[in-house]
Chain A
């Protein structure tokens, strides 16, 4: 019988161990994106002030080190009529999150970006990377 040392395999530089996400979390991500698209359309004005907003769901997938996952829109504090779309993962036990930027620009630019064919894959990849950052942050 061949014996494998799973830790050696995991640490090997040649093998990419990107975990696959469960079906129900994929559904949650899809739902979050759909709701967010509608809110982007409705809530980001051409110019002027608007309130920042977010959509989230509770994570039940043990591969992700995080309690909640959120998509948020923050007003660009330097450019009127523009916003930043971010993806975030909340630490499982602390009020601390890791976030990264998906796209910045006008309402149209953000919507075009969200309608890209591979947008959901990009969100999924970002979630996994943020989860890794949170786990490694040793908070």
Chain B
């Protein structure tokens, strides 16, 4: 830590309307990024909370990191647009540098979990995703019954025609008709295969650009030639041809998450993930759910037992951790706009259930209803939210669908429509508050 401890002034810094963090004002004003924090449980935690002294150092570093990310933001944004903007399957983008408040929370959590930081760059490593980019995929047009009929007639599973029973279940799946749990479980792998061409239609261009950018990066960093790329089977012949002819922008990917819920379709199919894996080689890690594979990678009984411990909201996004050209770490998220809108407010139920109470008074009635739910009721409620995810996803790939109804016995405050209404009102309120807001120090602690 710097030699300024004797003159240290801890102050509150308002990062957003109604949100502040503690900051070592002296260090911040001097632009001193030197920091070395070691966690000592006996001294640093009082009444279950981190002491202000340490919190202020974490807050100062978070604020400095925010400044750094804001500075690097325009270049990173341009880099993403240069890669994906030309694609006609991409609808729009949203970008944001990570906020100081969010970084303070993350650094504090890591610090208490035994990951202290000895420098500004250590802290940056712990934060990981300094810049978030969302790439929104265009929705597909609604399929006509004629198109569906053709798809059903032509569909073969591993080269074979379906049995009468499987055809019946697939039909129910395609038209979103009610099914027993057993039918749902048995039919899902068939349904997933059936819709793969639709998912690919929506995301293949994006997957191709990711693969090309990854390979281009390897060619630059490892000195690989086109012949090496061909020999290693990193890309298909079509993509190799593009690699030779076009100006491909390099990008470093090191982790891909392909989140989806039970009976939910992924953003990237297994074949698309394989394409990205082959382009990357061993350095890319894929985080996924083995319980949704078509084979048992681990003991089945153990995985079934573990399923209870996962958040069953149906959260759906494909996500990649990247390192931008200017060195800043970023996170890419790929999803359609329907799913994105729902994801903006779906998490509030989970956050409240987990004790995160960052929502304003507007949500008081909703909060009260959530807290009243028994574990069984809550599980039923999350199943409803998961069905909402599937509804929006089906809409985005053009499949027939029916909007799920809030299960009987639940207060209508908990409906998806009301969640959206509350979220919209809150956004409007925040927008108003932001109108004349300037981040600044507010008071000496």
Contact = CB atoms under 8 A, between A and B. Distances in A.
Interface of A: 5, 7-8, 11, 49, 51-54, 56, 67-68, 70, 72, 74, 76-79, 82, 84, 86, 88, 90, 93-102, 104-105, 122, 126, 129-130, 133-134, 136-139
Given A72-B297, A78-B271, A98 B116 contact: no
Interface of B: 36, 38-39, 109, 116-118, 122, 128, 158-159, 233, 236, 255, 257, 269-271, 274-275, 277-278, 280-291, 293-299, 302-303, 306-307, 309-310
Given A68-B299, A78-B275, A96 B289 contact: yes
Contacts of B270: 74, 77
Given A96-B310, A98-B286, A100-B284, A133 B274 contact: no
11 contacts: A49-B158, A56-B297, A72-B297, A79-B233, A93-B306, A94-B306, A95-B290, A96-B290, A97-B288, A97-B289, A100-B282
A54 B274 contact: no
B5 to A, nearest CB: 18
Given A96-B289, A96-B310, A101 B295 contact: no
Contacts of A100: 277, 282-286
B309 A93 contact: yes
A32 to B, nearest CB: 12
Nearest to B282: A100
Contacts of B293: 52
Contacts of A104: 233, 274, 277-278
Summarize A's interface: helix, strand, loop or mixed: mixed
B312 to A, nearest CB: 11
A18 to B, nearest CB: 16
A129 B254 CA distance: 11
A74 B286 CA distance: 14
Contacts of A56: 297-299
A7 B116 CA distance: 7
Contact of B309 (A95, A130, A136): A95
Contacts of B286: 98-100
B204 to A, nearest CB: 12
Given A98-B286, A101-B282, A105-B233, A11 B274 contact: no
A88 B297 contact: yes
Given A54-B295, A101-B277, A77 B271 contact: yes
Nearest to B126: A136
B285 A76 contact: no
A88 B158 contact: no
B296 A98 contact: no
A94 B351 CA distance: 18
Contacts of B257: 137
B257 to A, nearest CB: 8
Contact of A133 (B236, B285, B288, B303): B285
A137 B287 contact: yes
B116 A70 contact: no
Nearest to B234: A104
